[in-house]
Structure 1
Amino acid sequence: MPVTLRSGEPKLPEAIAFDCYDTLFLNSHDGWKSSFQDIIDAQNVPLDKDEFWTRWRKYEVNFRKIRTDLGRPYNSPPFKSYRQAWTECFQQVFDDIEFDGDANLAGDRAALHMTDRPIFPETVEALNMLKGRVKLGVFSNADDEGVRPLLDNAGLEFDFVGSSQSAQVYKPALAAFEYLYKGLDTEPSKIWYVGDKLLDDVLGGYRSGATTVWINRNEEPVDREPEPDIEITDLRELSGILEHIGG
């Protein structure tokens, strides 16, 4: 699938910022289930990994739905880190099955999981192709204890790294992107924001005034508005777009 420019030719950016999980690194359900098996083995949880994941995921998805009120940000509940929210989800599952498990220990394993995700094959090359041409940033819905070691262990360097935990707010809330732009010391109209989620990344980036880039590796259809300004299937395509519009 070729690069798609949905809003005409974009302006050259001063900075390009990225989501982390499922944009720079794979964060698959199979990977999560492997960590759930570790929790089962450590605590003798009376569930198989698929049922454990399904039960936990129900609560985790609900947390994602209620954590941010986009229409009335002041109405959003108090911020919770992923570690706290995930631990509470484990406790709810243990309560449901009447199992005397250690939710804190399970939450520890889930948090550790985020520090060791497989990097996409093109990530390092793509970032090296951009380095020195634009500022590079990251903002991820993540805890610092997960995203920062992940980036450091992969040897990835950025001008600014932000997280929902450091900003105390989750994408697609406007405040999350404002935190990123302040960290990069760059106006939103001069930033491209690259992510894999149409809600968190494309909607959030659009509302904040950035040029939105959707990394769509599986060539899925656009099923919500706004459409991304740019659609790519490989991060290395960013460099080619810069060369094209820069002459």
Structure 2
Amino acid sequence: MTWDTVTFDCYGTLVDWETGIAQAFLTAAAADGLALEPAEVISAYHVVEPKVEAGPYRPYRDVLAETALRVAERLGWPLTPGRAGFMVNSLPDWPVFPDTRPALERIKSRFKIAILSNIDDDLLAATLQRIGVDFDWAVTARQTRSYKPAPGHFHEAIRKVGGQRQRLLHAAQSLFHDVRPACELGLSVVWVNRKAEARDEGLRPLCDVADLTGLADWLGV
């Protein structure tokens, strides 16, 4: 084992962003007398947000607002641009998975821990307060001016450990944003398979775990 730093995706891996997103949409739409289905919100969100992020770089708060408008349109909700900020306002309240903090504390006892996230620095700061564990460093979309699965976050993480990628172990839930691009760059990867998804053909993470408790157990901490 050559790793001395474990990097994590944040939203989806440490934070239950699907619950947070769905609740934000349901609450905002209910104010207009519209009842949305959580599953439909999340399905539309996963289609729309990567398309918004794939365009020219913009801060994540702008990505959230544009995504909210496009998802609302798909769902037949006439959301106006002036009200699209509800997603940014909701983000600090997105729930942390219950296993996150205790597992991170175990992992931190032996390894440095860091975050690689498609987020603005100020929005991440609010989430880190909610998680309640100190990270050694973070790489954000604001810093790299790009969004995963683009490689900017991973290149910056490698730079932070002196170009020695063998020192990094990346743990993440999203095959699209994290597992595939990290594997393609030759990083050691553990798939935090919270949704019990089938593995894509050709992907070779070191292992699959159901949650962060499983990761801490696998690391022997």
Do they superpose with TM above 0.5?
yes
Question: What CA distance in whole angstroms lies between the structure 2 residues aligned with 1:91 and 1:218?
Answer: 27
> Sequence identity of aligned pairs in percent?
25
Match of residue 33, structure 1, among 6, 22, 28: 22
Q: Which runs of 5+ in 2 are unaligned?
A: none
1:12–1:34 distance in 2 versus 1, CA, 3 Å: same
**Counterpart in 1 of 2:37?**
50
Question: What CA distance in whole angstroms lies between the structure 2 residues aligned with 1:230 and 1:97?
Answer: 41
**Counterpart in 2 of 1:61?**
47
Structure of larger gyration radius = 1
Question: What CA distance in whole angstroms lies between the structure 2 residues aligned with 1:56 and 1:216?
Answer: 17
Answer with 182-191 or 127-136: which moved more. Answer: 182-191
**Counterpart in 1 of 2:63?**
85
TM-score if structure 1 supplies the norm length?
A: 0.75
Instruction: State the secondary structure of the residue aligned to 1:157.
Output: coil
Name which structure has the greater RCO, CA cutoff 8 Å, separation 6+: 1
Question: What CA distance in whole angstroms lies between the structure 1 residues aligned with 2:175 and 2:214?
Answer: 19
Question: What CA distance in whole angstroms lies between the structure 1 residues aligned with 2:107 and 2:208?
Answer: 17
Question: What CA distance in whole angstroms lies between the structure 2 residues aligned with 1:180 and 1:172?
Answer: 14
Listed one character per residue, the Cα deviations across residues 95-126 of structure 1 (whole Å, up to 9, x for unaligned) are: 99695x542332x2101222112222221111
The answer to whether the 8 Å contact 1:87/1:104 transfers is no
RMSD: 3.0
Listed one character per residue, the Cα deviations across residues 116-152 of structure 1 (whole Å, up to 9, x for unaligned) are: 1222222111111122422110011223333221112
1:133–1:102 distance in 2 versus 1, CA, 3 Å: same
Match of residue 219, structure 1, among 182, 196, 215: 196
State the one-letter code of the partner of 2:2. L
Q: Shift of residue 60 of structure 1?
A: 6.6
The answer to whether the 8 Å contact 1:114/1:147 transfers is no
Q: Which runs of 5+ in 1 are unaligned?
A: 1-10, 69-76
Listed one character per residue, the Cα deviations across residues 146-197 of structure 1 (whole Å, up to 9, x for unaligned) are: 3221112331211111222232111122222112233455621221000001
Match of residue 194, structure 1, among 171, 194, 198: 171
Alignment of 1:3-152 (within 5 A): 11-28=1-18, 30-42=19-31, 44=32, 47-50=34-37, 54=40, 58=44, 61-65=47-51, 67-68=53-54, 77-92=55-70, 93=72, 99=78, 101-106=79-84, 108-152=85-129
The answer to whether the 8 Å contact 1:169/1:175 transfers is yes
Question: What CA distance in whole angstroms lies between the structure 2 residues aligned with 1:85 and 1:243?
Answer: 38
Question: What CA distance in whole angstroms lies between the structure 1 residues aligned with 2:157 and 2:64?
Answer: 25
